[in-house]
A and B are shown apart, each in its own frame.
Chain A
């Protein structure tokens, strides 16, 4: 069934997109209004951070023989020491279909088989964040936010525009600069309400016009081309959904970011740090509940004064490359520790911390060099009922998607499976 053959607004309802109606009478009094949030039960949030080219295995992975809470943090994770009871390091997870030694993110959250479709050289499926967004995304201004960085291939992420892939396995575009992310989430409309309402009507007419042309273009296309053009229709539907949300949220000002507008041209460490800050503010203001971030690696090295190409660094041997690889690990862990600091320090209205209501996954599909098994994986936060403060070593080649399934269940998403999952991981449950 081609949805766009029907009336578009009909579709918005038909697609079952949950656009919760804000309780209008109360909204004017809430500063960080979240449409349907009741102060009693704080919403759950999920954050996924992917860093492309793996880690320095020898100094990042804890000793496999010491599991449970009393393991020793290796140097690569040392900056996280103050949070040791709030995260869990997991070993033994892999995506069984992963064969591309330079693709650290393409299938990280999906577990798809690149070659599953005959007649195609590339295939992907829905990423776990989008599966979460389907459940958690309806009540916020943005169902999910994709943060990204340019040059995915050079940064060891592989194909894709962000970590996220939609239900049809198409890449979701990411906001590649902190400034763009800031504007998307926090820049306020300055026009008066009546005019904004008129603008909404006008925007709908614009969509009606491009759809009139799209329908003409669609005529006579074969299936492949119609599928391709469907991205455009989907794009229009997404704008439509957003407009519908805008309409509900018209009287609600965008959340105020407790953060100044970022400068242009930040790179590497500063850029990641700022994106992390934006993540905290986005969650705090309930602007969205699902965020992915495809982190830069090349510019991170540059900002650490390391001139080496990111890929070359991963082929480390003792000397400059190993040192670069280790410094990268430490810098990334420091940044993550800073993010955890902030999530802890940010208090929810009920006095609990933001981290209590967030689950955070941090890792890559590449372990180290060209190794794709035993993916580096850290979970933090209490939103998904995961067991924290642990070093968990699972049987080798446990599907990474089993961990995603566990996370989905923990967040209240009743999924039967995700990717190539075979069942949830009980060792990860609190």
Chain B
């Protein structure tokens, strides 16, 4: 059986090698004329300046040296240094064509020369995989932020060659492993007490609000009496002249303050100049300044506090305010409570009088300032005062992190935004924003004590040397994903344990020492697949189980997989396929859909900048998180239901929750769970191009960027990536300081060949997406504004044409054209999948494999799971 497999493998490999052989990067001969016409005078047969001859240079780029030479030539052309200013200059089109051809050929050459020939480099667990593996092994969630960041070389974080190891890291693994074991032992011992504490909102909130109402009112009454007395004094004949003067001064607008109602009050600041006017201290104020501010508080906020007094439900709960005073309610895990998973629970209701998009809460942790709020999750409030709703979520309380949790109405994370929203509402209605969320209580309870199998592995039958050895062996075999540790290694670990006991450690504590060493050992940290030099080998069953589970779960194989590996049944195609389906159905496949998709689509850009709340108030942290989640959830949904990959290009449904439905203006969706929702035929949503996260990445938080969007579409959807941004291209300075619409600005790209050779392909696609603003909302007008002042608007013109391709009159036609190119999309997706799953860059040696996968999937209308089945069934997936 095994011999048969190997034979097949060898035949297939050689067939593959032949098929993939003839790949070359060669600049098209039609470009020869360019070099003859514009370069040969100095770099030709007669003279070879810089020892470079270009008229007969080989157009094949096959070695590092040739690539470096061509890179230099490209750089010279791009920077405009060549041809020199006083020489004959090429026509714009000719230079554009040459730059286009050369940069593409060079990119291809670099790929071919750098091709690893299908070699998979030994890889260690990345940060995510390490975290998941520890969780599966010990049932403990640990904070892995202490580990150095993975990747950063532009590849997936599963690519072994890009994952490194250092002494610091080994020490971190020892420390983190120890921390995880401490927690796991504490749980397993069953000694963990459970704790609970609850904050009643009415006790804290209403007391606060009543106090504010009373004190503000009192201050105002005092102020009124003081002001009346000052006014009285001002009427005295000897004060008349100065009073008139002071009133005039007080009326002067103060442009910098921005505080409304401020001016008339200023008159009283100068009370001392009025003979016989009483001091504010007689009315309970420290000085005129204090009196002024108290009165300002009254003017600005008293109606807010008065309105609060009229709200229902105040006997049993409190209303969370949008602005000031009672913004948040808190609950804390006690200082002595053990680390672990806790349950946060709150009983809440929404206010029907508040707009629907405000009836959301955020649970998070607060920093020093109001605007320093880390959102953990957002929830839609659907309960009513008559029928409040209980929201529950799990949080991981760690030994070192913050222990206080807060709940507040959802909002942009900015104090300025808060003030602005308040004053806008005040100006419009004469009242502050009506409270949208009522809260009865907020509690934390835990730690949760779900029984984890680790409890059994870690229990020693006898508390002696033999018992320790048994635990260590059992644990190491599990940690090494089914591979037994060597005897020498075990001996050393047992000796470590004995040494600790000799130093006075308890049996359990002594045991933790060798176990944490297991968690820093190479058999745990690396996915080991030994192979002889230059030879491919079929993976054994345990190796296969690990490759599969780290692909689909970013975690270790579970009991089922290990059992199938032990019996070698996993090698049977039908069994393997059934496991793939089981694993996709399992919740752990969320690790794949989120991590793979995030990296494949380059979604880290979403965190590169902050969104301007003045322009996009609705796109706060919670909405951004939901928008990101939409992309992952859509992938999960397509996989689960085995729908076509094409649905990522165009679909008549979206996968959203209540928050996004409210953002998109889709009716009839409420609650926090993401689900499939049908769209009307005229909806621009459905497919990646209509997703807020994708559109928001294609901007800078303030303006849209047709360049970012266009390049993204070429890179991710159309499998036609522009070459990397070239160095030293002269910056266009001509348009500086002018207010231009996006098309006018980008037209400049077409003027210089160095820009045009890429931008003629990129920019038009971006124009077609201009109907979406920088936070992904539909718009028909583009607005230029600076410093909050609207300067200019233009109607959006989405009509454009693909370079040497079809024209489109609007977004919908653009989307249809993109959808019609689903073969290219499938190709790009497959390449990404291969890279992620095999843990090595996609190379030219993989072209054949990719083609086979795409062909098999195409037969099933690109059904999502077909890609994965085809890849998992492939020889490459089974080979090292």
Q: Give the interface of A toward B (CB within 8 A).
A: 97-102, 113, 115-122, 150-154, 158-161, 170-174, 176, 180, 198, 202, 205-206, 208-210, 212-214, 216-217, 219-225, 228-229, 231-232, 234-239, 242, 265, 298, 302, 307-312, 315, 317-320, 369-373
Taking a contact as CB atoms under 8 Å apart, the answer to whether A372 and B167 are in contact is no
21 inter-chain pairs at a CB distance below 8 angstroms, sorted by A residue, are: A115-B64, A116-B64, A117-B64, A118-B63, A118-B114, A119-B117, A152-B152, A170-B164, A173-B164, A198-B503, A210-B170, A222-B530, A224-B121, A232-B165, A232-B522, A232-B526, A315-B731, A318-B737, A319-B737, A370-B729, A372-B728
User: Are A222 and B533 in contact (CB-based, < 8 A)?
Assistant: yes
- Complex CA–CA separation, A393 to B724 (angstroms): 30
Q: From known contacts A217-B523, A307-B612, infer whether A209 and B493 are also in contact, taking CB-CB under 8 Å.
A: yes
Candidates A102, A229, A309; contact of B122 at CB < 8 Å: A229
Q: For residue A304, give the distance in angstroms from its CB to the closest CB of chain B.
A: 12
Q: How far is the CB of A371 from chain B (nearest CB, A)?
A: 5
Are B114 and A307 in contact (CB-based, < 8 A)? no
Interface string of B103-131 (1 = CB under 8 A from A): 00000001101111101011100000000
Q: Is B154 within 8 A of A153, CB to CB? A: yes
A118 to B117, CA, bound (A): 11
What 0/1 readout, one digit per residue, does chain B (776-819) give for beta carbons within 8 Å of chain A?
A: 00000000001000000000000000000000000000000000
In Å, the complex CA distance between A172 and B167 comes to 10
Task: Report how far A312 CA is from B609 CA in the complex, Å.
Answer: 9
On whether the beta carbons of A309 and B609 are closer than 8 Å, the reply is yes
Question: What CA separation (Å) do A157 and B574 show in the bound complex?
Answer: 47
Say if the beta carbon of B287 comes within 8 Å of chain A. Answer: no
Q: A161-B148, A220-B532, A307-B701 are in contact. Are A370 and B522 (CB under 8 A)?
A: no
Say how far A329's CB is from chain B's closest CB, in angstroms.
Answer: 17
Residues in B whose Cβ lies below 8 Å from that of A154: 604, 608
A-contact 0/1 string along B521-556, CB 8 Å cutoff: 111011011111110000000000000000000000
Q: Please judge, given known A-B contacts A118-B63, A319-B737, whether A217 and B164 are in contact too, CB under 8 Å.
A: no
Write out, one digit per residue, whether chain B residues 681-709 have a CB within 8 A of any chain A CB (1) or not (0): 00000000000000000001110000000
Given contacts A213-B523, A236-B167, contact A161 B149 (CB under 8 A): yes
Known pairs A161-B149, A206-B496; A311 contacts B608 (CB<8 A): yes
The smallest beta-carbon distance between B540 and chain A, in angstroms, is: 12
Nearest CB of chain A from residue B696's CB, rounded to whole Å: 12
A221 touches B486 (CB 8 A): no
Chain B residue nearest in CB terms to A238: B167
**A208 contacts across to B, CB distance below 8 A:** 492
- When the two chains form the complex, which single residue of A153, A206, A225, A369 contacts B731, counting CB atoms closer than 8 Å? A369
Asked if B89 CB lies within 8 Å of chain A CBs, one says no
- B367 interface residue, CB < 8 Å from A? yes
B613 nearest CB neighbor, chain A only:
A307
User: Contacts A205-B492, A216-B523, A220-B530; is A172 near B110 (CB within 8 Å)?
Assistant: no
Shortest distance between the CB of A183 and any CB in chain B (Å): 11
Bound-state Cα–Cα, A372 to B78, Å: 12
Task: Name the CB-closest residue of B to A207.
Answer: B170
Q: Judging by beta carbons under 8 Å apart, are B841 and A217 in contact?
A: no
Q: Is the CB of B727 within 8 A of A206?
A: no
Contacts known (A152-B152, A173-B166, A238-B167); A228 close to B503, Cβ less than 8 A: no
Given contacts A238-B166, A309-B609, contact A115 B522 (CB under 8 A): no
Q: A309–B152 contact, CB under 8 A?
A: no
Judged by a CB distance under 8 angstroms, whether B520 is at the interface is: yes
Contact yes or no, A307 B702, CB < 8 A: yes
Contact yes or no, B499 A102, CB < 8 A: no
Q: Say whether, besides A121-B110, A219-B530, A312-B700, A102 and B725 are in contact (CB < 8 Å).
A: yes
Q: Is B485 part of the contact surface with A, judged by Cβ < 8 Å? A: yes
Q: Point out the residues of chain A lying under 8 angstroms from B513, CB to CB.
A: 202, 206
Whether A217 and B148, one on each chain, are in contact in the complex, defined by CB atoms closer than 8 angstroms, is no
B725 (CB) vs chain A CBs: closest residue: A101
- Asked if residues B121 and A228 are in contact (CB atoms below 8 Å), the reply is yes
Chain B 285-314, CB within 8 Å of chain A: the 1/0 string?
000000000000000000000000000000
User: Which of A150, A214, A320, A371 is the one whose CB lies under 8 Å from B521?
Assistant: A214
Pair B170/A320 contact, Cβ less than 8 Å? no
Question: How many Å lie between the Cα of A426 and that of B687 in the bound state?
Answer: 61
Residue of A nearest to B700 (CB): A312
Given contacts A161-B148, A228-B121, A308-B609, 4 further A-B contacts (CB under 8 A): A121-B110, A202-B499, A232-B522, A239-B170
| Nearest neighbor of A263 in chain B, beta-carbon distance | B368
* A373 CA / B728 CA spacing, docked (Å): 7
Which of B67-75, B179-187, B865-873 is the interface stretch?
B67-75
B489 on the interface (CB 8 Å rule)? yes
Contact A122 B727 (CB under 8 A): no
In the bound complex, CA of A98 to CA of B727 (Å): 9
Residues on A with beta carbons closer than 8 Å to the beta carbon of B166: 161, 172-173, 231, 235, 238
Contacts of B321 in A (CB 8 A): none
Q: Are B503's CB and A235's CB within 8 A?
A: no
Residues in B with CB closer than 8 Å to A113 are 64, 68
Q: Is the CB of B113 within 8 A of A217?
A: no
Query: With A and B bound together, what is the CA distance between A206 and B167 in angstroms?
Result: 13
Determine if B485 and A213 form an interchain contact, defined as CB atoms under 8 angstroms apart. Answer: yes
Q: Is B387 an interface residue (CB 8 A)?
A: no
Q: Which B residues are in CB contact (< 8 Å) with A223?
A: 533
A209 adjacent to B489 (CB under 8 Å)? yes
- Give the contacts of B604-621 with A (CB-CB under 8 A): 604, 608-612
What's the nearest-Cβ distance from chain A to residue B505, in Å? 11
What's the minimum C-beta distance from B783 to chain A, rounded to whole angstroms? 15
CA distance A170 to B162 in the complex (A): 10
Give every chain A residue within 8 A of B165 (Cβ-Cβ): 231-232, 234-235
When chains A and B are docked, how far (Å) is the Cα of A235 from the Cα of B610? 38
How many Å from the CB of A267 to the closest CB on chain B?
Answer: 11
**What residues on A are CB-neighbors of B121 within 8 Å?**
224-225, 228
Task: Verify A171–B164 contact, CB threshold 8 A.
Answer: yes
Interface residue from B64, B170, B492, B737 paired with A212 (Cβ < 8 Å): B492
